[in-house]
Amino acid sequence: MSTAGNDVKRVTTHTLQEMKADGVRIAMLTAYDYSLARLVDAAGIDVILVGDSASNVMAGHETTLPITLDQMIYHASAVVRGCARALIVVDLPFGTYQGNSKGALNSAIRIMKESGAHAVKLEGGREVLGSVERILTAGIPVMGHLGLTPQSIYKFGTYVVRAKEQEEADRLRADAKLLEEAGCFALVLEKIPATLAAEVAASVSIPVIGIGAGNGCDGQVLVLHDMLGINKEFNPRFLRRYADLHGTITDAVANYVRDVRTRDFPNANEQY
- The residues carrying an active-site annotation are 190
Q: Count Cβ atoms below 10 Å from residue 163 Cβ, excluding itself.
A: 23
Residue among 82 and 93 whose Cβ is closer to ligand KIV: 93
Question: Which of the stretches 44-52, 192-200, 240-248, 258-266 binds ligand KIV when contact is defined by CB under 6 A?
Answer: 44-52
Q: End-to-end alpha-carbon separation of the chain, Å?
A: 36
The number of angstroms, rounded, from the C-alpha of 44 to the middle of its chain's C-alpha atoms is: 16
Residue among 74 and 272 whose Cβ is closer to ligand KIV: 74
Closest-CA residue to 67 (of 81, 80, 83, 50): 50
Please state, in angstroms and rounded to a whole number, the distance separating the CA atoms of residues 161 and 246: 27
Residue 91 contacts residue 55 (beta carbons within 8 Å): no
**What binding mask, one character per residue, do residues 192-221 give for ligand KIV by CB under 6 A, x or -?**
-------------------x---------x
223 lies in the site for ligand KIV, by CB under 6 A = yes
Residue among 17 and 63 whose Cβ is closer to ligand KIV: 63
Question: Which of the stretches 47-55, 164-172, 231-239, 246-254 binds ligand KIV when contact is defined by CB under 6 A?
Answer: 47-55
Q: How far is the CB of 203 from ligand KIV (least distance, A)?
A: 21
Q: How far is the CB of 182 from ligand KIV (least distance, A)?
A: 19
Read off φ and ψ for residue 239, nearest 5 degrees: -85, 125
* Rg of the chain, C-alpha, whole Å: 20
259-268 in b/e burial notation, b at 16+ Cβ within 10 A?
A: eeeeeeeeee
Residue 185 contacts residue 132 (beta carbons within 8 Å): no
Q: Rule CB under 6 A: choose which of 30, 101, 107, 131 binds ligand KIV.
A: 30
Position closest to ligand KIV via CB: 51
188 lies in the site for ligand KIV, by CB under 6 A = yes
46 lies in the site for ligand KIV, by CB under 6 A = no
51 lies in the site for ligand KIV, by CB under 6 A = yes
Question: Which of the stretches 46-54, 111-119, 158-166, 254-262 binds ligand KIV when contact is defined by CB under 6 A?
Answer: 46-54
Question: Which of the stretches 15-23, 45-53, 196-204, 245-253 binds ligand KIV when contact is defined by CB under 6 A?
Answer: 45-53
Q: Name, in order, each residue with C-beta under 8 angstroms of 151's C-beta and a sequence gap of 6 or more.
A: 52, 64, 65, 94, 123
Q: Count Cβ atoms below 10 Å from residue 153 Cβ, excluding itself.
A: 16
Q: How far is the CB of 151 from ligand KIV (least distance, A)?
A: 9
91 lies in the site for ligand KIV, by CB under 6 A = yes
Please state, in angstroms and rounded to a whole number, the distance separating the CA atoms of residues 36 and 249: 15
Q: Which of residues 121-180 bind ligand KIV (CB under 6 A)?
A: none
Q: Count Cβ atoms below 10 Å from residue 258 Cβ, excluding itself.
A: 11
Binding site for ligand KIV (CB under 6 A): 30, 49, 51-53, 91, 188, 190, 211, 221, 223
